[in-house]
Structure 1
Amino acid sequence: MSVPAASPANDPHNTMRASDADRDRVADALREAYAEGRLDVEEHNERIDRAYNAKTLGELAPLLSDLPQRHHISAAPAPTTGGPIGTQPSMPPEYAPGSKVTAVFAEQKRGGRWLVPSQTTAAAVFGSVTIDLREAVLTQREVVIIANAVFGSIQIKVPHGVVVRDEGTAIFGSRTGSDRNAAGDVPVTADSPVVVIRGVALFGEVSVKYPKVSKIGKFLGR
């Protein structure tokens, strides 16, 4: 496993101190690259660690140098308008905050390897929606899914080690499976990811599906 070499130290822009916003932008770009399959788990983790320990822009730039141009940050000086250094990597529209999954007299699924924004809205009206988080990458430790099922159903599939918290309501409908965590064989800690489910089940159903627990997990009472 390798990380591209650091940028030349004699470039004055590379010696500029990095801000928290610069480190966050690089971390977001690395998460997107991981979700696209451009980085494996070890490379992603190593680069994330180096990003948050970087002191200068010169230390950040190499972490993105072997990725497509849209992931890059600029080492140019900050504009006179007072805006942030560089440009924030663009994120595909379907992954942007406020993403929506809607099924009206239809069936919709969101799954595979995808970036989960801070908030996702799912609506099933006389239809069904499946949101699969088992291979997804959460953009932050706690994400919110607003699930509105009106004469329809919404199923949320979660991986091991995720804490599910249901804050929604049911009116002549049902909400099931959110009264426990999805620990499985992975212990839940204070840093475990949290999925908060809100919204309403009106003559509909919102359910959470957990992964199967192995024999070891059952033996340990999980």
Structure 2
Amino acid sequence: MSEPKRSAMRVADSDRENVAQLLYEAMGAGRITAGELETRLDAVYAAKTFAEFEPVVADLSPGGALALSHTGDEEQGGRRSFAVMSGTTRRFDGPLPSRHVSRAFWGSVRLDLRRARIAAGSCTIRAVAVMGGVKIVVPEDFALDVRGLGLMGGFGTGRGTGRRRPEPGAPVLRVTGFAWWGSVKVIRRPLEPRRRSFRGRG
């Protein structure tokens, strides 16, 4: 498909999110101001075609909006979790896909990976939280590589109840993405919660 025809194509939500991520990162690096971010985001979420993205990213992306759209194409093969003004919980049993995308917009996503396995040695989760939260619960034997951007929000690991530490060569879970007025948190927890025993009075 030629570039002129592609620029006239309708955009998907994932395309808008890819452009929005570029804007968040640009503000975090000091390339645009918070006011510019808000103005450009309004244009991004109102856009209907790739051509409407071009003036928003012309001074930020060498390849323009069409180059950014390839990221969205690559995600088509991965599994996804979405929450828009709602909450969702997903529990994974068995092998994880090599890539997973989780997005929360004015809502929350909880991923429970305690019964999951990383078959290929590593798994990458791209987590995006906008005025919402993504919480990822992992088993104690996963090695973690958490690298994301928090803008007026938090992105990182939280305190869990797990006490074990992964062994050398353990499967690696990589978490990337960003949080804007929201949070992305990765927490270690044992497979089963501990139960407290109570002695009856009598």
What is the TM-score of this pair, normalised by structure 2?
A: 0.52
Whether 2:117 is the aligned partner of 1:142: answer no
Partner of residue 185 from structure 2, selected from 207, 217, 221: 207
Q: What letter corresponds to residue 124 of structure 1 in structure 2?
A: A
- Residue 91 of structure 2 is matched in structure 1 by 111
| SS in structure 1 at match of 2:115 | coil
> What is the alpha-carbon distance in structure 2 between the residues aligned to residue 107 and residue 114 of structure 1?
23
Aligned residue-pair number:
116
Are the structure 2 counterparts of residues 165 and 183 from structure 1 closer, same or farther at C-alpha, using a change threshold of 3 Å? Answer: farther
Higher strand share: 2
Are the structure 2 counterparts of residues 100 and 130 from structure 1 closer, same or farther at C-alpha, using a change threshold of 3 Å? Answer: same
> What is the alpha-carbon distance in structure 2 between the residues aligned to residue 181 and residue 117 of structure 1?
24
Give how far 1:158 is off. Answer: 0.5
CA offset digits 1:83-105 (Å, max 9, x no partner): xxxxxxxxxxxxx9411101000
Partner of residue 99 from structure 1, selected from 76, 79, 83: 79
Are the structure 2 counterparts of residues 210 and 182 from structure 1 closer, same or farther at C-alpha, using a change threshold of 3 Å? Answer: same
Overall identity of the aligned pairs, in %: 28
| SS in structure 2 at match of 1:139 | coil
Q: 1:123 touches 1:148 (CA, 8 Å); kept in 2?
A: yes
What is the TM-score of this pair, normalised by structure 1?
A: 0.47
Give how far 1:119 is off. Answer: 0.6
Whether 2:101 is the aligned partner of 1:121: answer yes
- Residue 194 of structure 1 is matched in structure 2 by 172
Give how far 1:188 is off. Answer: 2.7
> What is the alpha-carbon distance in structure 1 between the residues aligned to residue 179 and residue 137 of structure 2?
17
- Residue 184 of structure 1 is matched in structure 2 by 163
> What is the alpha-carbon distance in structure 2 between the residues aligned to residue 104 and residue 123 of structure 1?
8
- Residue 162 of structure 1 is matched in structure 2 by 142
Structure 2 gaps, min length 5:
1-75, 191-202
Partner of residue 152 from structure 2, selected from 161, 172, 177: 172
| SS in structure 2 at match of 1:160 | coil
